[in-house]
């Protein structure tokens, strides 16, 4: 599991549970029930891992929003 995924889960979550949830989300497009659920959730296709550049962009937004809230 990559480090950036740790930010998607609450602190202290069991790593095995985190890995299981990740596996389900990343593979749910592979079966009819999962595809139906994704489609019902605003037309999502498959879940995908974020690229490093996307993570960097999110990190910048986190900083910006934290500063805005602090003001």
Q: How confident is the model at residue 2 (pLDDT cuts 50, 70, 90)?
A: very low
Model pLDDT for residues 25-70, shown as the tens digit of each residue: 889 999 999 999 988 987 888 888 888 888 888 888 888 888 877 7
Q: Give pTM, 2 decimals.
A: 0.56
Q: Three-class SS of residue 11?
A: coil
> What residue spans of 1-71 are helical by DSSP H?
15-27, 32-40, 52-70
Determine contact, residues 51/33, Cβ cutoff 8 Å: no
Handedness of CA 29, 33, 36, 38 (dihedral sign): negative
Measured between alpha carbons, how far is 29 from 45 in angstroms, rounded to an integer? Answer: 7
């Amino acid at each position: 599991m990559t480090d950036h995924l740790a930010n998607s889960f609450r602190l202290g979550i069991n790593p095995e549970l985190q890995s299981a949830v990740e596996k389900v989300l990343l593979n749910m497009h592979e079966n009819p029930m999962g595809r139906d659920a994704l489609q019902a959730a605003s037309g999502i296709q498959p879940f995908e891992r974020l690229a490093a550049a996307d993570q960097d962009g999110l990190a910048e937004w986190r900083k910006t929003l934290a500063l805005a809230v602090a003001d």
